[in-house]
A and B are shown apart, each in its own frame.
Chain A
């Protein structure tokens, strides 16, 4: 029997909108990864119906270590809407999240469409600009525990993103140092190389994966390449900054 997509989508939609923790859907429902993506699409449709609009995509599980840890052999992806955008230098309201974490990333802005399987070279050619970025992930599941199907249904935990100044992609982005600081002290240190060995591979993979669910990446879309380090738990009052070698930085604060 196939899963009740509409029902599951409503559960994650409500959890996302109200910032409430829910039990894993997989505890009571049986659904496939493909169905999980349909739940995600449906729950985002509900958000679009409520007035949000789609601005791009995010990639997740972009490090092999994390794929192995989660027992999956591919990345996951989620959708970004305008309501998730946190202004660079802005502040987030802690009460609007369940148990948010933040990870340092880089973001792409596309100048042309990408549809279906593309080479890394073609993906790179579609890039208008790149920027230092951070993603706020906030699984709606209790204790941040989930199966891969659960997390995909929950929009791959995406709940917010911050983007610094756009830079022209004329530099080699394969190994840019990244330092994420809380209140001026380094909490995560890594390199863009952690993203599949080269972050451009993440963009090519995004094009392939979204096409499997009938989507495409369009000119003007933002694509978050995926975490370059482990995620760090946010708390009230903390000031967060991610500096990326050669690209600059972005930051935000968490309300007290």
Chain B
């Protein structure tokens, strides 16, 4: 694989992010099916954002639903980096015009209190590293035109991450049922997406364990204080300007993403 191609893909995505004009799929630049090449693209732009003063505050896990994996022809999740400048406080209005084709997803977010910097962590070790859980909404957006994405495009594009809203509650893991907890996202008083914890790889902790192992292998291990958005509990929903999306997760409380007209 050519470093030039990886650099070019990173440049396309960065330009799309900065100008607000979506780019063509970057998969055409990369060796077909090479997900590591796509992560190399992501890493270039991660380094650029860090050099620009952004702070890494966590990770997001994507492709945690069997159905979505099938649609993209993959058998495992992917991840992206969460930076401080992507965080939106609960209910604070998001400037819709700054986004291309945003969608929202309801997720459980876990905040760590211990590092996970060893090979092949187990679920029990991951659970012991988690301080608390909280409800959250991930706002995803694709820098690739019309969401015409395959696995390499979304991985290169920081797993389509753009903004996120994390709840203000701190809920201990023994206070709710991670597998069975119901999830409903409402807009204008109507359910627009529903699901449960099991929709995320059978249990969201399974996704966090996958991430913890992956991050050790890729040289950015999870550490105390990291925010981990574990993956969608129901179908993603296209954002309508002017709407407020409220997510309730049973046992965790609620959180809102509001979009300007």
Contacts and interface: CB of A to CB of B under 8 A. Distances in A.
Interface of A: 63-64, 172, 175-179, 186, 189-194, 197, 228-229, 243-246
A192 B190 CA distance: 13
Nearest to B181: A177
A228 B194 contact: yes
A194 B191 contact: yes
Given A177-B177, A177-B179, A228-B194, 8 more contacts: A175-B182, A175-B183, A177-B196, A179-B179, A179-B196, A190-B182, A193-B182, A245-B177
Closest 9 A-B residue pairs measured CB to CB? A177-B196, A193-B184, A191-B182, A245-B180, A175-B182, A177-B182, A177-B180, A194-B194, A191-B194
7 contacts: A176-B182, A177-B177, A177-B180, A190-B182, A193-B191, A197-B190, A246-B180
Contact of B248 (A64, A175, A228): A175
Nearest to B183: A191
B83 to A, nearest CB: 31
B202 to A, nearest CB: 7
A172 B248 CA distance: 13
A190 B186 contact: no
B190 A178 contact: no
A109 B202 CA distance: 31
Nearest to B198: A179
Chain A residues touching B, majority SS? mixed
A186 B182 contact: no
Contacts of B189: 197
A193 B181 contact: no
Q: Of residues B184, B189, B191, B199, which shows the largest number of chain A Cβ atoms within 10 Å of its Cβ? A: B191
Contacts of B186: 197
B80 interface: no
Nearest to B250: A175
A104 to B, nearest CB: 10
B197 interface: yes
B91 interface: no
Given A175-B184, A177-B183, A178-B196, A186 B191 contact: no
Given A191-B184, A192-B182, A193-B248, A64 B196 contact: no
Nearest to B197: A177
Interface string B146-168: 00000000000000000000000
Contacts of B221: none
Nearest to A173: B182
B195 interface: yes
A193 B190 contact: no
Contacts of A178: 182, 196
B199 A189 contact: yes
A245 B191 contact: no
B248 A186 contact: no
A88 B198 CA distance: 23
Contact of A191 (B179, B195, B202): B195
A42 B249 CA distance: 44
B194 A243 contact: no
B183 to A, nearest CB: 6
A229 B199 CA distance: 13
A127 B249 CA distance: 25
B180 A179 contact: yes
A172 B195 CA distance: 17
Interface in B189-244: 189-191, 194-199, 202, 234
B180 to A, nearest CB: 4
Nearest to B195: A189
Interface in B171-185: 177, 179-184
B191 A63 contact: yes
Contacts of A189: 195-196, 198-199
Contact of A243 (B180, B181, B199): B180
Contacts of A176: 180, 182, 250
Given A177-B183, A245-B250, A191 B190 contact: no
Contacts of B234: 190-191
A193 B198 contact: no
Contacts of A63: 191
B256 to A, nearest CB: 16
A194 B234 CA distance: 11
A243 B196 CA distance: 11
Contact of A245 (B181, B190, B199): B181
A148 B191 CA distance: 23
